[in-house]
Amino acid sequence: MAGRPGRKDEILATFIRHVAERGYDQTNLGDIAAELQMSKGTIVHHFGTKAQILRDLEESYMNRRRGEVDLLWEKLTSPADRVAAIIYATALYQVTDRDATIATQREVIQLADDPEMRKIRGLRAQIQQLVSDEIAAGVESGVFRRIDPDVATMLVFGAGQWMWTWFRPGAPNTPQSVGATMVDIVLGGLLADRYGLAELADPDGRVAGFVRDVLEATPQ
């Protein structure tokens, strides 16, 4: 049987939920301390500042995402599969790692100029570059139409960035169906030949199923 989470883990989890619900500026360490029935000094002992908790949130979140992308890239080899996988993953994060995803997406510009966030920004940039490289490879091989890979990449990540503002678990649209629709739109525009698009955009298909398996195997 798993033991009770440590105080530091409880603080971080509560902070993440508060940022997801209220935003960073409205998240108060005093409220977190009261909810957890501890002193504010205990939070300061573990993290120092509110900004440091946000750094820890961002670092752990981006490390999870980079690890998942590495697994996806190991098993999926074609540009179309890999781009579809990123889109499905982006939609599924709204359920599998919801609070951290919302907190990260709504506060992506917080601490933007903080030197200590450089490594975290680098992880985000690495993932975006991997997708841009795949789109470029697809263009070069003739699988994708001749489009600007960087613009297409920003379209993929930009669409995912704002899902927190409108997607609600339990709504008629599941993350799988939303991901399938996004794959249909994005890959439908990228592919030079749309043969095979239906399989890529199948929420119960091979790529979508593999993404679910990878996310379920990753501790959130």
| Average pLDDT of the residues of the chain | 92
Tokens 């592919």 appear where?
Answer: 191
CATH 1.10.357.10 maps onto the chain at 55-216
Work out the percent of the chain whose per-residue pLDDT is above 90: 82
Residue pair 180/203 in contact by the 8 Å Cβ criterion: yes
**Overall size of the chain counted in residues:** 220
pLDDT at 3: 40
Residue 1 has pLDDT above 70, yes or no: no
Contact 69, 129 (CB under 8 A): no
pLDDT at 2: 40
The mean pLDDT of 153-157, rounded to a whole number, is 95
What are the tens digits of pLDDT across the range 92-150? Answer: 999 999 999 999 998 877 777 788 888 888 899 999 999 999 999 999 999 999 999 99
Identify the pLDDT of residue 28.
Answer: 93
55-216, CATH topology level: Tetracycline Repressor; domain 2 (1.10.357)
Distance CA 129, CA 19 (A): 28
What are 131-145's pLDDT values in tens digits?
999 999 999 999 999
- Which residue intervals of the chain bear CATH 1.10.10.60? 1-48
What pTM was computed for the model? 0.91
- Assigned fold of 1-48: Arc Repressor Mutant, subunit A (1.10.10)
Confidence of residue 5 (pLDDT cuts 50, 70, 90): low
Which tokens belong to 183? 């794959």
